[in-house]
Structure 1
């Protein structure tokens, strides 16, 4: 595995100074409105840091401190710095760096005994969310962070919504309910406790931080014509590929992105976070920067760090800061919630900090785009839990699959349709067509006991007891000749075994190899403004729920008409799932809502109990 570098440090960062050195033309020091200036010297700050992170402690039976020089040398050695024992610039920079809140030396409240869980199926609960990211993005970051550790150990991680979890996750500020308060923006990013009962095993994230995924790749746009959709990277503009926001094609310099893979074709776009659009913090309520602006008599045409000791980029939100005192901070890249969470979950599993700077468990935060777990992290976690057994897919969730019979031919109440199917005699397509390479499927459905994945005229089947991905695909036209290459959704009625397919404003009904259709969905009673049915959940009472983004309908399968009092709002009945899904289906007795590469699994009680990967958890592709 290549070097992983999500570097965080457990401990309290130095108390940061909110005032900053002023431009050299004036000896005056600026204190921004609403901020408090710190008078702490470098030595005082260093002493506080060394004490907070376990390097400096009171000698037993004495009121005097151990040698600061000795403590500095210990810290430098522990963090892989040049060991001088002096409070040099490299050491000061390290003390100012954002880090994890767990001490590098000594106990963190209850770091004693065997720091590991006595079971492998670890449960977790998300108590609340940061306003910086959409809940589904946060859920995905946590799923991927846990997956870092499950890929190399026998551990599995299951989200619960009730009861007592092993790992409780929350966002909090300052004094947030435990003995270790956060320190505001930057500094301490998060902390976690080692395995055990009560607060032990829990992970806390500082809500004063600006949480992102660290790269700007997942960017929620503003304005444009995509209703705040996320950027899609890479995207095509004027036949060129862009992997970041760009100002190409604009005379005003505003950064923008395509929200689909091809702007030339779809014309969907939004504007990326920019000081020309909005700001945060300060005293201007998110107003955009005004350029140029005057500060201490000088003119600035962009964001600046002048006047601040903390290195934050800021701007004036009026033309003259000197007279108006209005300012705000310019958008930054923030901290990768995924990387910080992966580090903190390492603590929650029993790992301490590493002195290897490229290891995930190194205390300081640093973003690296090509994330791979370092061998030091692997050796540490496998020492506690052992290596992962076998190459198989991740274990299933807590609910077992309902029993199904796949060898029995389906029966039907319709006398005009054959009860035989044609799939058994269909020859597969070129086996090099690998389902694991498909980014987003047209539709997914459980038909005749097998999970089917449809894409561009092909489909793959994953049998119920399969331990790996499907082999070669089959052609839709060979099995269901009447269907188009691209379908939107499908379902099988449990009672009659009839299979319904939807594509655009048309639908087909198959009974064995006999087909009825295509017919228009207006025959079902759907409004003319419904352009497609994007998902279907069959019920055992002869009903099926048909979804189209924000709305859903209940249809009587026998009468083939939607019931009165419909449509209803999806987010009211199915809270916690994205409304911009591209498919909904029933599998293993639970509802699955798909968005991009991910799915949200919901119980019949309408509780989301898992967010997972379509590729690994449903298609069962191997994890690399």
Structure 2
């Protein structure tokens, strides 16, 4: 605790005061850029004029009356949880350690940015990993919806934006201070290896969809910090998401709309996204279209129960299989199942394709093949002689288009996947395959070739995909084949059953009520069922028999997807 007295500061405040539980006001004002760092000779001594000026600047930035006195309103604002970054450039950078420069603003010199949650909250039991990842996705999407930036999640160590939940001193020069006080910080774009990295204090009780008085809303704080990660400094406007003080929850991530001032500031840095009007204020009723349903619903719950025609995952063969955003999607008819990157089945029941990807024809009863395009990470659906391109969940304008755009026959394709070995896209149809360069948008010379070159792979596939273990997987009927790394030959021990290894099915299991009761005994001890009002069951579960060796489905941390742009050129030898 620290007591201010007339002979020290010229400003009197009754009683003992601190800005928060541990930081005296002098230190608080210095930490956030209102006072120069402490003089090593004079310690905390400051002139009355300097302190008065600093307090007025803090009050002005915080929207308080400029009294120059540490009154209760000022101290109350100092105690408010907030971002670690300073509010203004420090008056004197020579006397103390150098902090992040606030001016001039920096920005990324590229438009496709990768992100990864490297460590997850340990103290916030209410937030599971999938929910944390979904909230990060939504918080980044707030900015990419209005600016020409594209964010995609990766599993490797080379992400542009590394996200960590950590405590106290975590070796970046900006230690956290326990519950309250500073809750998060992010590094501005630039040449530093920490550029874009975003850190959350794991001593906070992070929450989602909780009352204002319960914990710290992760989505609201993440939107603020990602604003810093793309180059925005703090703003003094009360309604700005970039105001340094914690606002409380900002509402549903699916419907959150940035304040207009924040939009203008990011437009000044990056320009306006093509589909955004920068002349319309957010309260214009013409701009209140219903938001799309996003891929990763925070609660992993469909709001519509499956129809009676929903297929049985354990007895069916699949129309298409794809890896999208690092997760596996199994498509059948009008439905799909999703597995997390840890290979956990999100739900025992399928979700409807049209609920997630808006823009496919209403009468489309199935898809032939699906893949995530390298480079821009857009999602491509094939059906017959047509294809559609989606950015996240929304179809791009001008689709469908004919598959002849790729140089493919109008009969369409059976399977498509991107080979990690060379980042080329491979299309399969009957007994032939083609190799396509998505970066150059052209078919490679010398194709098609005979599928027999892929030794052990059957013709007329249902689909294929690469997975986070760097292997390629080929699916047909109820079986699948694995091809390791850069090989073109099936591994020994294959084919294996799809349902048993991927979809939590026992040998004789189906989705009928009689067998479901018995199948629950095979689920791993992490089976958390949630019965919504409509009776739709949701779980995150693994199976004891769900891998070829009878091991749980969770992958080794070493089995991760290498970022697309880090592949060695030496791996791109033609096949």
Instruction: Give TM-score, length-normalised by structure 1.
Output: 0.45
Instruction: Give TM-score, length-normalised by structure 2.
Output: 0.48
Q: Relative CO higher for 1 or 2, CA cutoff 8 Å, sep ≥ 6?
A: 1
